[in-house]
Amino acid sequence: MKTYPLQHVPILVGPDGRLKVRVNPSLEGITVTEDDLRGKNLLSLEFCWLPANVVEAYNTAKTEEERRRVLVGRVYGNCRLNCKGCYAKQDDLFRGQKLIYPDRILDLIEESVRELGTRAVKYLGPTEFFRDPDVFKYLDRFERMGIVLGVFAKDPMFGDDAEVETLFGSQGIRTADVLVEKLASYRCLRILFNFRSFDDETSNDLVRGGYAGKSDYAGDYKSVQNLSVGRLYEYFAKREFDRGLSSRLLILNAPVTPETVGEASEIFRYFTDRGLPVISTSSMRSGCGAGIYAGADERFLKELARFYAEAMRLSVERGSVAAEYFESNGPSPYAGMMHCFQLCNGLLIRETGQLLRCPGADHAGWLDRISPEELLRNGIAWAWPHTMNHDEPARLNVGCLAKPRMFTAGFNSRVMAMYRSL
């Protein structure tokens, strides 16, 4: 059975086929030009961290067995879900490194904003950003920086008052509605909320069975997810539209897999027509991601290409992205959206202090040679010129080398041919 989260929300498309509200079609939430990129500022900085109490528990564990208990119980366990293909559930997730406290990573981010022209940051994990008792202290610091903070999320708390009471009742926040309203008061914040299927059974199956040593989510995730999307829409989208601004809620349909590709176009149109940007893409090569496509065949690639073409065509029709953009730059790995510029003007700080070119690939070839000790001693302004991404030629379409080898020249040509034929 399919259920839809925004049934009360009207379609926001005018008689001319264009959206009646503003849309920001950028993953980072900022628009950049070729001139911006040539300046070689660190425009987009991605980061990972864990709550301070989890960092303390992991760093003070005295044996490998104790560290593993913390990894499974408090790192994996700090997310209620057990998604298939989750990149975080790796036995060697931290590569033998100690963890860095969030406050220290925030110091590096502030330095980057101050000295390297950073305009947008994104939190990637390896857990849920908002499941942290100190989250408002951190949001206060981000707000003062005056940058865009994007947070990837799928936590059931936004649709579950009992979850909120457990996490934030001691701070006077006892319902999901109060929590979301407080989060929306941080003008820096954009939420990229995961949504991969309208089908109830599929949605519940995707968040279960990912790791044998972790408990599955016991509730009906799809019903909680629908409530979450509705509540986030009210505070992060509708109230922005009323101000004449674009939504600060984005729908993240990722990864698109053989099991979900058949719904991808419906998801893209459904949320786009209600004013919400939709980010759809394949998995990355990090963690368990690459294995998702081990059995992918020509039929899947054809379906995926058609979806990308349909998403591009709808974005042009709705006025989200100009036709000239796709003709000049080709299809983005984020279907119907603008390109990511991570590989020439971005960087990732891991929760260990290791620097990666991109979160999509975590093997040695993507790890910069700068050690965590050097980063903490010398700072991010010193580290950036020494990184591989700094040496990368700056352009809007960098491509996406961190995804499984699907976004080839042949695939892109197929997408463009389908796009032009629609």
Q: What is the pLDDT of residue 212?
A: 83
> What are the pLDDT digits (tens) for 108-124?
999 999 999 999 999 99
Average pLDDT, the chain: 92
> What are the pLDDT digits (tens) for 307-344?
999 999 999 999 999 999 999 989 988 999 998 888 88
What percentage of the chain carries pLDDT values higher than 70? Answer: 94
Domain coordinates in residue numbering, the chain? 34-421
Q: Is the pTM of this model over 0.75?
A: yes
Written as six digits, the tokens of 400 are 């996406």
> What are the pLDDT digits (tens) for 121-159?
999 989 999 999 999 999 999 999 999 999 999 999 999
The pLDDT of residue 284 is above 70? no
Find out whether 293 and 282 touch, Cβ atoms under 8 Å: yes
Q: What is the pLDDT of residue 12?
A: 98
Residue predicted with more confidence, 129 or 85: 129
The pLDDT of residue 20 is above 80? yes
Secondary structure of the chain as H, E, C letters: CECCCCCCCCCCECCCCCECCCCCCCCCCCCCCHHHHHCCCCCEEEECCCCHHHHHHHHCCCCHHHHHHHHHHHHHHHCCCCCCCCCCCCCCCCCCCCCCCHHHHHHHHHHHHHHHCCCEEEECCCCCCCCCCCHHHHHHHHHHHCCEEEEEECCHHHHCHHHHHHHHHHHCCCCHHHHHHHHHCCCCEEEEEECCCCEHHHHHHHCCCCCCCCCCCCCCHHHHHHHHHHHHHHHHHHHHHHCCCCCCEEEEECCCCCCCHHHHHHHHHHHHCCCCCEEECCCCCCCCHHHHHCCCCHHHHHHHHHHHHHHHHHHHHHCCCCHHHHHHHCCCCCCCCCCCCHHHHEEEECCCCCEECCCCCCCHHHECCCCHHHHHHHCHHHHHHHCHHHHCCCCCCCCCCCCCCCCCHHHHHHHHHHHHHC
Lateral strand order in the sheet of 44-47: 278-280, 249-253, 189-194, 148-153, 120-123, 44-47, 346-349, 355-356
